[in-house]
A and B are shown apart, each in its own frame.
Chain A
């Protein structure tokens, strides 16, 4: 596979987590008070891995070269539109849709990168932001014939779809992989638990594993080393006979293609697109995911994406009556006080929770969740020699 032992182990661990995600994310039995923390339903699991892909790609640009793009949602959106048009014109099979979404996003990012990379630092960020907002506005208004404007696009019964046969009467077009429908699920009930195995999720997970594998290869390649050199010292790079621009542009296009892939997969799972997908908050979200997880690390962006998407779906579902249930055992006065204190952070206020967590991570764990994991790991390593030597003389861990 061309990976060293450590990277290969990481890839295998991620693969195992993906395969068993329907179990891992559903630890609480149905109907229990904790059941709302279960994340093992298809829609959320699909989002976890798809935004993982988005963040992995973003990390190739931001984590390696240090160029902070604030417009990557534009590539995700363009990929989505390309995918839905494939479904309208060619076939409801997701393969052409996914391939075209990557290619179109790649071309668009080549154009945006070519122009934006004339500047670096904050000016680069602003240029990418401007491009993304222009794309959003265009998709929302001027380009309505192509993008569906406010209403967005979805496959209609009377679309041409030249590769598919005619639909039977009353049948609606559904995304599929050679007949296997993406929303098809198999439910397994074990005692009080219900585990859902969804075709779309497993397709997205396989694509994510391939994307993750390619990202490891890029990180460990001479090209990846050059990208880190760009981040470290462009002056020295220039005086070493290397031109930084093609390196940064290649990284930009690669990360744009990852974003397009994520956009295409979103359409494959849920066949509709709206312009809000390209809004600047969506671009900001992938920045948060990457930094929260650990920019420049392999697994960080995946963790960050998973963390944020989990929070978004789970914390936002907690409402006042659930809080009342939780705090019911307390005396009335204290119960009301606690509910008043916690209430702003749940439901629609989940952004507040996310913001606080983000601040805590940036201040106390500048390396993101990955650094947190490493610190915990070191803590355990340090304890081991102490066990071996009962006299208490410990050697510091390296």
Chain B
């Protein structure tokens, strides 16, 4: 039994069958990558996991509980955090405030009317946020406007924000899309370290094969809305079906 169990999930948009019959099991504390060519249904699948879309058929169980029909913030409280393709941070707030918000959310739940308490009096929250900023090597940028960070730093901040909620499952949607090589490698190192240091399951949707093969322990290949094969990275590399559907093109291009 994995921490996330996807069974017979299907999703149709009008005449387009985005997801056919997806079965997926992600083992606890593993790094699991989902790859596939454009239009394979990777993002649709991810959106079904976090409550943004509700699948037409099938079930999605997280740690024995169904996530279907729950709102994104409820699913997040169950222990699933999501990192977006374009970093989603509070661009108008300072880096420190960005980090404090998930700390408050973790402590207080979905809503708290603490309109008359002052932020400096919340010592434990400040310490937690500062600690996480240090973990992310961003302590020197705490006073900066989050919107003015570099792309790579925005990504680090977003991952840090997700981690400060101590999620059990971290979902990443193409975390290195649009990044320079150096930033990509930094992100890979960061994710490796997170996976080693913490009790956390990481599911990653990725285009970049370099990222996938550096990180993943298991890989699921999606094609045309259904899983083609699921295996270890080494076996995936050698699998002729995968080459045909996807990898062959990429290797030619590289």
Contacts and interface: CB of A to CB of B under 8 A. Distances in A.
B118 A2 contact: yes
B139 to A, nearest CB: 20
Given A225-B97, A232-B91, A233-B90, A238 B71 contact: yes
Interface string A211-243: 000100110111111101101110111111111
Contact of B115 (A224, A232, A238): A224
Interface residues of A, number: 31
B93 A240 contact: no
A358 B104 CA distance: 39
Contacts of B101: 225-226, 229, 237, 240, 242
Contacts of A236: 88-90, 161
Interface string A1-16: 0111000000000000
Interface size class of B (residues with CB under 8 A): 35 or more
Given A238-B71, A241-B106, A242-B110, A221 B88 contact: no
A247 interface: yes
A225 B81 CA distance: 21
Interface stretch (B30-38, B72-80, B183-191, B223-231): B72-80
B82 interface: yes
A194 interface: no
15 contacts: A221-B118, A222-B100, A222-B119, A223-B115, A232-B90, A235-B88, A238-B71, A239-B81, A240-B101, A240-B161, A241-B165, A243-B110, A246-B110, A246-B111, A250-B113
Given A214-B116, A225-B97, 14 more contacts: A221-B114, A221-B117, A222-B100, A224-B115, A233-B89, A236-B89, A236-B90, A238-B73, A239-B72, A239-B84, A242-B110, A243-B71, A243-B110, A243-B111
Q: Chain A interface secondary structure, helix, strand, loop or mixed? A: helix
B92 A232 contact: yes
Contacts of B106: 241
Contact of A229 (B82, B90, B120): B90
A242 B50 CA distance: 14
A254 interface: yes
Choose among A217, A240, A247, A250 the residue with the greatest number of B CB atoms under 10 Å from its CB.
A240
B54 to A, nearest CB: 15
A328 B116 CA distance: 57
B92 A241 contact: no
Given A220-B119, A250-B113, A240 B97 contact: no
Contacts of A2: 116, 118, 121
B112 interface: yes
B132 to A, nearest CB: 13
